[in-house]
Homo-oligomer: A and B are copies of this chain.
Amino acid sequence: MAKLTPISGFPEWLPEQKLVEDAVISQVKSVYASHGFVPIETPAAELIETLSSKGVVDREIYSIRRFHAEEDAEAALALHFDLTVPFARYAAQHLNALSFPFKRYQLQKVWRGERPQKGRFREFYQFDIDTIAREDLPLCCDAEIVTVLLKAFRVMQLGPFQMLVNNRKLLHGCYSSLGLGETQRKAAITAVDKIHKIGRDGVLKELESAAAVSHDVATRIVDLTVVQASAADFAGVFQATGVKDALFDKGIEELAEVLRLVPTDLQQYIQVDLSLARGLDYYTGLIFEAQMRDHPEFGTVCSGGRYDDLASQFTSQKLPGVGGSIGLTRLLELAFSKGLLSAKIRSTAQVMVTVFSETQRQRCNEFAEELRGSGVATEVFFKASKLGKQIESAEARGVRYVAFVSEENEAIEIKDLETKQQHKFAQASETVAWLSALKIS
């Protein structure tokens, strides 16, 4: 008999967990679509050449190969490790078929050839959203990305969350005012990005070595990382740091404009944080990270920012953009393991129709069809087993209402397995009206 070993790093949910995942996906999609973002999907595989075109050779990727392929006879393929590179390739390839600004969302699995390790996923869903333009992209697009991502977190109802935001120009201006050249500033950003991992002393050390700055300058840079403020107060707080630099001021101005355009009721979820640096070279303006407030140990569950050029490796057309990515599988793993989900969905069916005898099945089927026609998902029990067994099965499957169809007349009885109450109806139509009015879902 074949082995039943789970494959390390490839998560697999039970049906009740998959139902939750689907519900979350559908909520987030609705938010994205309500702002006019459209879906795209790219193949799981890309040319290895495409995946490594940004020089990302240190990522562990999974190559794929036809079992019966002749050696070297075909293009070398690998599974994508994120959705950004495929999106860049897609945008360049379909440039003339797309309408700009191009606002897209993309939910797909990605694969990382990580060493097998507890808690590390090798297959997981990412939920990306980006707006790209030809030539220039106004800051209102940054604000819209922040807005839809905050709305997505609010609609998922997984507990308190916050989004840390910053601006790369602000960081560059800050470091520039301390005398750092471009290469030093990049090294400083890489170092500061690690502050919550390696701590103040670790960053100090790295600044002195990798960014080649004096102990005093390194100390000043690290001191600035504690500066935090709300969306409303940040400009004043940041100006009070005493940094005098045109790029720093430009960063503040950009960030202020972005935050001004985020709806008032979402501002509470935003914290402007000078310690936020983001590792990737890529970003040129706004940067952000979201985390669950009650689970800081879980780290970042969403991140992104603005970039000047999406697809320079594929096209000479300049495509500036802004976007972010939700780590859906990690977020759900957290939600399942910490029990963050208030509502439990265990079944798609809301009603189970019991069957007293096989001669009655057709009548039960017709009643179930009436319910489905009114939007009430309904199962008919598959055997005319003892009634107790049928009710037990409904309970086990998480179906809330059980229906008993009379064998003598038109009457139907409904039992609510949650409240234990019974409701009698003289006609099927009355039952359907009553159940569909409950808006159970």
Contact with B along A36-55 (1 / 0, CB 8 A): 11111111111101100100
Pick from B21, B60, B378: contact of A34, CB under 8 Å: B378
Contact with B along A292-329 (1 / 0, CB 8 A): 00000000000000000000011110000000000000
A409 contacts the other chain (CB 8 A):
no
Interface centre among A15, A77, A260, A316 (most CB of B within 10 A): A15
- Asked if A314 contacts B1 (CB within 8 A), the reply is yes
- Alpha-carbon distance A3/B22, docked complex (angstroms): 36
A93 contacts the other chain (CB 8 A):
yes
Pick from B22, B261, B382: contact of A141, CB under 8 Å: B382
Contact with B along A180-221 (1 / 0, CB 8 A): 000000000000000000000000000000000000000000
A369 contacts the other chain (CB 8 A):
yes
A423 contacts the other chain (CB 8 A):
no
Given contacts A43-B10, A61-B67, A68-B60, contact A3 B49 (CB under 8 A): yes
A267 contacts the other chain (CB 8 A):
no
Pick from B93, B382, B399: contact of A101, CB under 8 Å: B382
- Asked if A347 contacts B36 (CB within 8 A), the reply is yes
Contact with B along A107-146 (1 / 0, CB 8 A): 0010101001000000100000001010001101100000
- Asked if A74 contacts B116 (CB within 8 A), the reply is yes
Of residues 2 through 41 on chain A, the ones whose CB sits less than 8 Å from some CB of chain B are 2-7, 10-16, 18-19, 21-22, 32-41
Pick from B37, B138, B362, B382: contact of A382, CB under 8 Å: B138
A280 contacts the other chain (CB 8 A):
no
A397 contacts the other chain (CB 8 A):
yes
Q: In the complex, what residue of chain B is closest to A371 when comparing beta carbons?
A: B34
- Asked if B140 contacts A382 (CB within 8 A), the reply is yes
Interface centre among A43, A50, A69 (most CB of B within 10 A): A43
Which B residues are in CB contact (< 8 Å) with A65? 62-65
Of residues 360 through 386 on chain A, the ones whose CB sits less than 8 Å from some CB of chain B are 361-362, 365-366, 369, 372, 377-380, 382-383
27 pairs from A and B in contact (CB 8 Å cutoff): A1-B315, A1-B316, A3-B47, A4-B93, A6-B93, A7-B43, A10-B43, A12-B90, A13-B40, A14-B97, A18-B41, A34-B378, A35-B372, A35-B377, A36-B379, A37-B348, A43-B123, A44-B123, A62-B65, A62-B66, A68-B113, A99-B393, A99-B396, A99-B397, A133-B382, A140-B380, A141-B382
